[in-house]
Amino acid sequence: MKKMLTLAWDVDDVLNDFMRLWFERCWLPKHKGSSLTYENLTENPPHRLLGLSESDYLNSLDAFRLSKNCRNMRPVPEVFSWFKKKGEQFRHIALTARSFHTVPIASRWVLYYFGKWIRSFHFIPAKREGQIIPTYDQSKAEFLHWFEKVDILIDDSGLNIDMARAGGIEGILFPRPWNESKNMSIDEALKALNE
């Protein structure tokens, strides 16, 4: 029997369009005179481009993560379609980095849309002021090294991909305006999984 590869999927900006929705539904309405577009967010985090402190930016993200707008997000259509066609050919886990108090909503969202395929949800708690929780792993790469089951990481962070590759795990950089794959289509990125 052929071994099934295990894929680790980042949640925000891979399974969903989190940053685009936050930008369009939360930031832009409060900055109507801005000429910035989602495609202009060439840094992540983009707080410098937006004229925000990092703390204000993170607080705004977390508030959006707890909002109805976020809970009602739809999956990225190309990704959801790929799962319906190819999902059963692989094992899947979700691996996200986010503030601890927003994790339950994210896990529910992932299992609601992707629970047929993604049976395991993992997270790296993002540091937030005043939050003290045990730290087992400082990065996704550290978690993946400990977990020892993942063959490929799909993530929008070039740093996460590079760190995973340094640990012997293949990586697919999901195209977003802030990374080197921004000129690749989502379908092209997903096609790499089929190969």
Tell me: the pLDDT tens digits for 102-122?
999 999 999 999 999 999 999
Cα separation, 109 vs 98, whole angstroms: 14
Say yes or no: 83 and 164 in one domain.
Answer: yes
Pair 59, 101 in one domain: no
- Is there a single domain that holds both residue 136 and residue 158? yes
Query: Looking at residues 5-30, what average pLDDT do you find?
Result: 97
Average pLDDT, the chain: 94
Q: Tell me: pLDDT of 1 over 80.
A: no
Burial (CB count within 10 angstroms: exposed 0-12, middle 13-18, buried 19+), residue 106: buried
- In a domain, residue 186? The reply is yes
* Section 64-75 average pLDDT: 94
Assess whether pLDDT exceeds 90 at residue 40. Answer: yes
pLDDT given at position 63: 95
pLDDT at 183: 83
pLDDT of the residue at 27: 95
pLDDT attached to residue 154: 98
Instruction: Say yes or no: 103 and 190 in one domain.
Output: yes
Domain of residue 141, CATH code: 3.40.50.1000
Q: How many C-beta atoms lie closer than 10 Å to residue 153's C-beta?
A: 28
> CA separation (Å) from 125 to 1, 36, 140, 171?
37, 30, 10, 21
